[in-house]
Amino acid sequence: MLRLTNPVRHYDWGSAHALPELLGTTPDGRRYAEIWVGAHPAAPSVATQDGAPLPLDALVAQRPHDVLGPDVRARFGDRLPYLVKLLAADRPLSLQVHPDRERAARRHAEEVAAGVPAAERRYPDPWHKPELLVALRPTVALAGLRSPEEAAALLAGLGARAALDGVLDALLGPEPAGARLRAALGRVLALPAEAVAAVACALGPAPDAAVDPARDADPRRVAARLAASFPDDPGVVASFLLHPVVLRPGDGFAVGAGRLHCYVAGVGLEVMASSDNVLRAGLTPKVVDAPELLAVLDPEPRAAPVLRPAPVAAGAGLVTRTYGTTADEFALTVADVDAGAPATLSAAGCGPRTVVGLAGVVQVATRAGRCGLGAGESVLVPAADGPVALAGRGTCALVGVPAGAGAP
């Protein structure tokens, strides 16, 4: 079992208080956006091996058979296929989509063959990027396109029709719904700043930073949050094409390939396939590649279902909730523990398992040893360490690789 020290990412959209409060540390004025738990080469966790610190990606490369196990190596190569993050947002993250597996591999290979410098590639790696977010505090996001008729009615009611005529024409055209939504998003992304400003002015003041689950499903309220940080960004208008997703603690939602989405505000645990392939539509100072984004977009109107898994008694003093997704790279189980003696957990996937403390103190035990985790602390359990057992009093997240998933 490998205790991890995890890098903190400080971004402008982060929270000055949420993650320090989770960790039990004193805020220092910086914005804590993410804590990365994994072997991503840009910011790997650090493990201790033979008394010395070693980045987790280097450790995986040194001991792939022990850490990953033969099944995960055969399916994903000598790399940890998932990344876990603790995320806290006071401001919106970018509006974005992720490519599917086939497109990611093909477009990455094309850019490499064309000699595109690594720092300039739209596809930095050949992998897809399914994601799952579980709220730790009330959280609001945008995910899944509305019907074009719903989107048109919302935009027409803003009192800025002259600025949005082209978008409304696209939404109300004769084509199938998906084609209309793709065309409308293309027109939104081409809006001049003054058209976006006209919409922003119609929204009224921004709400407080704290998410209110009873009110934040209002699309105008969500758009006002976006406009407070990005008053002339087309993403403010694009938000009316999307469904707000309001999560209470314990709720989750999954994001698949082509699904336009944005995390607006809140605190959560995010699990994803380890990839950097992101195509942005707005709400960011980074590059927006509208043609490529529109090619990747899944344009069919479809809301993102909220995941509320039923609790399952998994042993004496152990209750689990497993969040089902179609991802091959990861499986997430959240465990509530109130047990004096270790109870073995059978639903943590196979191969390398990451355990992250969320509340209280949880004792993690394997045949290789035992370790206590407080909130924000984590361990990686190598495949060679065998089953995981939990004791103590608290809550933790366990991430593993689904057994028997298809090859990448």
pLDDT tens profile 197-243: 999 998 988 887 778 887 888 999 999 999 999 999 999 999 999 99
* 24 found inside a domain: no
Write down which residue in 256, 291, 307 finishes a domain.
307
* 36 found inside a domain: no
Do 195 and 322 reside in the same domain of the chain? Answer: no
Do 302 and 316 reside in the same domain of the chain? Answer: no
Do 317 and 303 reside in the same domain of the chain? Answer: no
128 is in an annotated binding site: no
Do 282 and 301 reside in the same domain of the chain? Answer: yes
Residue 405 has pLDDT above 50, yes or no: no
Return the number of other C-beta atoms located less than 10 Å from residue 397's C-beta: 24
Do 289 and 382 reside in the same domain of the chain? Answer: no
* 195 found inside a domain: yes
Element (H, E) at 108: helix 101-113
* 126 found inside a domain: no
Averaged pLDDT of the chain: 94
Helices marked H in 51-121 — which ranges?
56-62, 64-76, 101-113
Catalytic residue numbers read: 280
Residue-level pLDDT at 346: 66
Residue 8 has pLDDT above 50, yes or no: yes
* 242 found inside a domain: yes
Element (H, E) at 199: helix 193-201
The enclosing domain of 384 has a CATH number of 2.60.120.10
Residue-level pLDDT at 348: 55
Sequence letter at residue 271: V
> Could you give phi then psi for residue 305, rounded to 5 degrees?
-70, 140
Average pLDDT (104-120) is 97
Do 172 and 259 reside in the same domain of the chain? Answer: yes
Residue-level pLDDT at 406: 45
10 is in an annotated binding site: no
Q: What is the pLDDT of residues 26-35, one digit of tens each?
A: 999 999 999 9
Q: What is the pLDDT of residues 250-293, one digit of tens each?
A: 999 999 999 999 999 999 999 999 999 999 999 999 999 999 99
* 137 found inside a domain: yes
Do 141 and 234 reside in the same domain of the chain? Answer: yes
Percent of the chain with pLDDT over 70: 98
Q: Which domain holds residue 290?
A: 131-307
Please name which of 394, 392, 305, 310 lies closest in space to residue 347, comparing C-alpha atoms: 310
Please name which of 194, 185, 291, 289 lies closest in space to residue 239, comparing C-alpha atoms: 185
Residue 407 has pLDDT above 60, yes or no: no
Write down which residue in 283, 307, 331 finishes a domain.
307
> Could you give phi then psi for residue 136, rounded to 5 degrees?
-100, -25
Q: What is the pLDDT of residues 313-346, one digit of tens each?
A: 988 899 999 998 999 999 999 999 998 877 887 6
Do 216 and 323 reside in the same domain of the chain? Answer: no
> Could you give phi then psi for residue 64, rounded to 5 degrees?
-60, -35
- Between CA 100 and CA 243 the distance in angstroms is 22
Q: What angle do CA 408, 352, 74 make, to 5 degrees?
A: 35
Do 278 and 329 reside in the same domain of the chain? Answer: no
Residue 408 has pLDDT above 60, yes or no: no
* 215 found inside a domain: yes
Strand partners, 131: 255, 272
* 296 found inside a domain: yes
CA distances (Å), origin 373, targets 137, 154, 395, 402: 20, 47, 10, 24
Please name which of 99, 110, 157 lies closest in space to residue 275, comparing C-alpha atoms: 99
Do 272 and 387 reside in the same domain of the chain? Answer: no
Average pLDDT (131-146) is 97
49 is in an annotated binding site: no
Specify the 3-state DSSP secondary structure of 376. Answer: coil
Element (H, E) at 83: strand 82-89
Two tokens, residue 394? 């608290």
CA distances (Å), origin 343, targets 58, 351, 370: 32, 19, 13
Do 275 and 317 reside in the same domain of the chain? Answer: no
131 is in an annotated binding site: yes
Q: What is the pLDDT of residues 38-93, one digit of tens each?
A: 999 999 999 988 889 999 999 999 999 999 999 999 999 999 999 999 999 999 99
Residue 358 has pLDDT above 80, yes or no: yes
Do 164 and 294 reside in the same domain of the chain? Answer: yes
320, 347 contact by CB (below 8 A): yes
Write down which residue in 270, 292, 307 finishes a domain.
307
- Between CA 194 and CA 269 the distance in angstroms is 37
Two tokens, residue 39? 């072997």
Distant-in-sequence, close-in-space partners of 59: CB < 8 Å, separation ≥ 6: 2, 39, 47, 49, 67
**How many domains are there within the chain?**
2
